[in-house]
Structure 1
Amino acid sequence: MMKTINLSKIEHRGVNRIKVSYKRDADFIAKIKTIRGRRWSKTKNCWHLPYSKESFEQLKIVFGEERLVFPKKIKPDDVEKKKEKPIVVLPKKDLDISDPFDPIKSREIFNKIFTVVDEHTPFPVGDFLKKKEKESKTTHEKTNNEASFKTILRYGQKVRVVVGEKIFVEKINEKWLRLFVPFDKKGWIAVVRNIHGRQWNAEKISWKVPYVKQSFWHLKKYVGMEYLEFNFQIEKDIPDEYFSPTPIYPKKNIKKRNGFDQLNEAQKKAIHQLEEKIILLQYSRFTLTSYRNHLIGVFLFFKNILPEKLTSKDIQNYILHKIKFKKISESTQNSIINAVKAYWEKVLKRPKEKIDIPRPKSPKHLPNVFSQEEVVRLIESPKNLKHKLILLLIYSAGLRLSEVINIRTRDINLDRRVIFIKNGKGKKDRFVTLAEEVLPYLKKYNQQYRPNYWLIEGVHGGQYSASSIQKIFQRALQESKVFAYGTIHTLRHSYATHCVENGYSIALLQEALGHASIKTTEKYLHISSKALRTLRSPLDIIKNNNRKQS
């Protein structure tokens, strides 16, 4: 019994296509791959072809007209006929390819048994392919040193792509540029991905980047101006940096919206009102995420109570439930209270004196610190110059992880020997000391890496990631064999403790660390080994007295 091939009309990515349904085997796959414009769809789990007269003709030739089953809605004669092109003709005998995925065998068999038929004279397909390859090579040599465009057929639509050895840059408007990057330049694509504010346009097959100096600095540093081709004159008064009009939050935070979907309309409205207030107040995205998640938890616990009807007693019952069954910590309890207070005070405009919720006593934890010898072993452990400089900067200036990532090249003042920290924790700016011991490493780093905008940049430019610095520290921790309870923030704690031991005033240290309250800085007095050494144990005093009497 002859096996039939079912054809049907489908819409794939907004374009009409022919769906080919058949019990797949090696012979079927090898044959359908000879048809021009065929595609495999993972979502629809089928092969599909352009909805054109040419596709129907090739199906008839490759599989035989008697095997094709056309549904009523497909009428091959009604399809718009395209320009005539050479048609691949199969002989009457079945195609036998032992290994359809071997390009050499497939080419040999293809040249032997296929013939290209034209209106005038038939000629072997092998010669036809060689001729096309020769033309392609000649065209490539002509366009090797300049950006040129060619039109390709993609899912039934004509699109323009760039070829050659250059990136073509065109101006969209006063704020945006469009970059056409050759598809074979994977390194260039990685560089463009690291430009702040870049967007991919799948329809135009191009990148959209901000029309700012930072974008040009980035391309000049990691691609080179000689590999850029412009169709406009670059203006001198363009902005230095790109600022996003709306805060961009990580994708992982969007996934935590499952609880939000379970809220009623009144509760969802309350969440949106709180988000608007927090954004207008320009709190950090971490504060916004914390308040939002805690308030969703409160609303889910009281599904039948309107948000504005909640009382202090209700919140106490909710916190009591979380302590008993979820074992929440004191800091989590305080975060819940802060979220509720923010909603009551910022959205409902309730006065502060009417909010009566007891707060737990905060535990006084003392941070772990490294000894000075351990710090030296940690810093000397990395062989990479960039990795060593990162650890040096964090310890020598007592920086937070986010602060060392956000240092720009312009923030280093070699004359004054200071580093400008912009928008630190609590949105506070401050100056920190640039240690003399760091200067040789910094100068060598600038000569070797030539950073463009950020002082610490990734391989393809762009801001260095926090996870990469954490991995650098953990690797140094293992290689130096320092105790394994330290984190990257322990270097900051060690800096503060060693400053106290060396006699620096608490007020000066508070400014250097960027603490809002001096009480936060005073905790380093409790862990100073110099202060502990002045206190003698009574056991030592008793032993010494006994020795003197004897």
Structure 2
Amino acid sequence: MTLIIRKIEHKGAVRIGIFFERNNAIQQQLKGIGATYSKTFQCWYIDYNKAAYQQLKILFPDLQIQQPVAGETSSRDLPPIAQSELQLGLPPLVNNPEPITNKASLAHKLRLELLPPLGKYWVFKIRYVQSVVNQLKLVKGVYWHSTYKVYMANRHPKVKEAVERILEVSNFFPENYLEKEVVFEGKSIVLRPHLENVKWMQVYVPAQLVLLEKIKRISMVRYSKPNACFLLPATPAVVNALVVHFEPHRVVIQSELPQGYVNRRNVVNKKQLDLARTKSHLFSKLPEPAHYFVSNYMDTLMAVNYSVSTIRTYTQQFLQFLRDFEYRDPKDITYKETVRYLASLMERGLSATSGHAMVNALLFYYNQVEQIPGYELKLPRPKKEKKLPTVLTKEECLLLFGVVENPKHKLLLLIGYGAGLRVSEIVNLEWRDILFAEHKIHIRNAKGKKDRMVMLPMRIVRSLEYYKETYQTKKYVFEGQFAGEPYSVRSVQEVMRMALKKTGLEKKATVHSLRHSFATHLLEHGTDIRYIQQILGHSSIKTTTIYTHISASAVNKIISPLDQITEQEYEKKSEDELKPKK
């Protein structure tokens, strides 16, 4: 395989960037000479000196030095590494003169660029220079936007003064401190039909950060890389939402949709959207040789009605398998090669859970997709680590709920603990599932596509009724940013993380730890384990029996043999001391 190198600047220093298609053998060789992987540049790099370059040439004689791309203006790109070692800029062995420094302005060195403001922020872009970045981090009101790779600064006079002093510029930011909306006169958002699926429409947004950020806030939106546009359901409600969102910016909504294309029947449900996003995300990373195998694989998974999370996990594992075998036809990969591959994964420190996922993904492919008559693939199952789940005590649970002030956030955690719900069950809870009269909660289509009934804790009934009157949500109990959409799983996890941080507890607990705590506390109160199994929705009693290992009451009743023999010795000594001395 041919490696491409080019000069890059990374972490405040010049480096030799090494670019190549993923290859484990090459990665190991590069690690041997001290190379490091850069997520920023998505390449490996070493120090920019002659010794490092010579090591590279010894390992990879066919190195290719990359030339600049025509018209490329990215801040990452530096002058290309030249074809000769002298042009490469490496210092000669003797008589190395002092380098000639170019005393250009700091703004020129940083390639400082001001972008259109976003809400209450000024937006600017600079090249990475560690000393400058460290100073910007200390300014209150300056933030790094990881998605767009830009800095955002509060539109405040003190922030303007501090940032301009660091960047060594004057009057860089305008004095539009309190403007609420940015006006884009003459700009328009174009709506066009989506040929692949008529339920969707293509939305072309001008390349302005404010507008791009705002389109992402609309429910059901997703981005199509092949068409370089956003996709939204072709419904009247969505078109009206676009008009309302962009009217303050004076952006015109220009429709090129045929008559009758927009229809209220084009509403996309959540599972359909999740599947579309998963498929789009996975296929965006695929080279052409893998499209056929992965497409067949995902079609079969969807045909047997697997959940979105299972489809995502299985497909990612199968894709990893194809990638490591350089996209060979899986039918041509022998049994011994597959076993050797699984062994290499374990050697690299892959967890047993991931190993099982890989085995399941491969078995599904050969058994369900290929359906080879008489073909049987017996793969060794890696032994799974038996780890005990994190459990909070009752006192810790009370402390956790006590530090949460937001009533919505507190109710999220209370219902998760009080009914032993998974985080996905919390966010998908609907008002029709809350049976106030029966004091029960109907959990629909949970893990394994099973329904079950759980208790509705008496202590939160009044809180739920008050919450319903206050928030007036229609379908979902806990709505997200947009009406009619459920609260996101990530938001619930963030609520739990912040609450745990406020308590000062050192346990690494998650939302799922509340479910573990619920089951453990039930067991400690003497609840039959069969009932706990039904409440939690476990298919096998083996899954529920893990809580017998962490039940405090059960552990406290068991006395260590050491305590028993020392206690006996202590009692014997006490008796001897009480006996009258002769």
Q: TM-score, normalised by structure 2?
A: 0.54
1:149-548 equivalences under 5 Å are: 154=187, 195=219, 210=235, 243=269, 246-249=272-275, 254=280, 257=283, 260-261=286-287, 265=289, 267-303=290-326, 305-324=328-347, 326-350=348-372, 354-461=376-483, 462-548=485-571
Distance 1:458 1:319, change over 3 A: same
Q: State how far apart, in whole Å, the 2-side matches of 1:304 and 1:486 are.
A: 40
Check conservation: 2:390, 2:507, Cα contact below 8 A.
no
1:431 match: secondary structure: strand
Q: State how far apart, in whole Å, the 2-side matches of 1:397 and 1:428 are.
A: 16
Q: State how far apart, in whole Å, the 2-side matches of 1:317 and 1:523 are.
A: 33
Distance 1:431 1:240, change over 3 A: farther
Check conservation: 1:197, 1:209, Cα contact below 8 A.
no
Amino acid at match of 1:416: E
Check conservation: 1:345, 1:352, Cα contact below 8 A.
no
How far did residue 376 of structure 1 move? 0.8
Distance 1:153 1:196, change over 3 A: closer
How far did residue 290 of structure 1 move? 2.1
Check conservation: 2:439, 2:455, Cα contact below 8 A.
yes
Structure 1 unaligned residues grouped into runs of 5+? 1-98, 105-151, 161-174, 178-185, 217-237
How far did residue 306 of structure 1 move? 2.9
Check conservation: 2:283, 2:291, Cα contact below 8 A.
no
Amino acid at match of 1:291: Y
1:515 match: secondary structure: coil
Distance 1:510 1:281, change over 3 A: same
Give the equivalent residue in structure 1 for 2:68: none
- CA RMSD for the aligned pairs? 4.5
1:72-151 equivalences under 5 Å are: none
Amino acid at match of 2:508: Y
Q: State how far apart, in whole Å, the 2-side matches of 1:102 and 1:538 are.
A: 77
Q: Which moved more, 1:479-488 or 1:244-253?
A: 244-253
Amino acid at match of 1:419: I
Distance 1:239 1:379, change over 3 A: farther
Deviations 1:3-30 (A, max 9, x none): xxxxxxxxxxxxxxxxxxxxxxxxxxxx
Distance 1:280 1:256, change over 3 A: closer
Deviations 1:113-167 (A, max 9, x none): xxxxxxxxxxxxxxxxxxxxxxxxxxxxxxxxxxxxxxx9657xx999xxxxxxx
Deviations 1:166-191 (A, max 9, x none): xxxxxxxxx999xxxxxxxx9xx989
Check conservation: 2:235, 2:266, Cα contact below 8 A.
no
Q: State how far apart, in whole Å, the 2-side matches of 1:403 and 1:337 are.
A: 28
Identical residues among aligned pairs (%): 30
Deviations 1:73-93 (A, max 9, x none): xxxxxxxxxxxxxxxxxxxxx
1:355 match: secondary structure: coil
Amino acid at match of 1:532: V
- Alignment size in residue pairs: 362
Q: Which has the higher contact order (CA 8 A, sep 6+)?
A: 1
1:489 match: secondary structure: helix
Distance 1:196 1:419, change over 3 A: farther
1:545 match: secondary structure: helix
2:506 match: secondary structure: coil
Q: State how far apart, in whole Å, the 1-side matches of 2:387 and 2:339 are.
A: 26
How far did residue 313 of structure 1 move? 1.4
Amino acid at match of 1:392: L
Q: State how far apart, in whole Å, the 1-side matches of 2:439 and 2:215 are.
A: 32
Structure 2 unaligned residues grouped into runs of 5+? 1-170, 177-184, 192-198, 202-209, 225-229, 241-263, 576-582
How far did residue 286 of structure 1 move? 2.1
Q: State how far apart, in whole Å, the 2-side matches of 1:290 and 1:504 are.
A: 35
Q: State how far apart, in whole Å, the 2-side matches of 1:103 and 1:259 are.
A: 43
